[in-house]
Amino acid sequence: MTELLERAIACVRALPDTLQDDAARMLLLFAGEADRPVYQLTPEEEADLAASDAEVARGEFATDEQIRAIWAKHGP
């Protein structure tokens, strides 16, 4: 095992169990051994994604002004 991977594993060990499982799933997926998707959407997230997909299908996108407002509020 490389030093970098050892350091990463040590950091992941300090995370809560659910995040450790997420990290493990990502590694398994990367190695081609995952038995399920890395992340399972909640029903609420699935509904939000479906609503977003419908907006895209209708051609509804944020305006430049809306994007600037988001960056002003949450930007770097």
pLDDT tens track for 1-50? 999 999 999 999 999 999 999 999 889 888 887 666 667 889 999 999 99
Let me know: does 62 contact 55? Beta carbons within 8 Å: no
Let me know: does 34 contact 25? Beta carbons within 8 Å: yes
* Residue 52: pLDDT band with limits 50, 70, 90: very high
Q: Which domain, by its residues, includes 54?
A: 3-74
pLDDT at 36: 64
pLDDT at 42: 92
Q: Is 16 helix (H, G, I), strand (E, B) or coil?
A: coil
Domain count, the chain: 1
pLDDT at 25: 85
pTM of this structure: 0.44
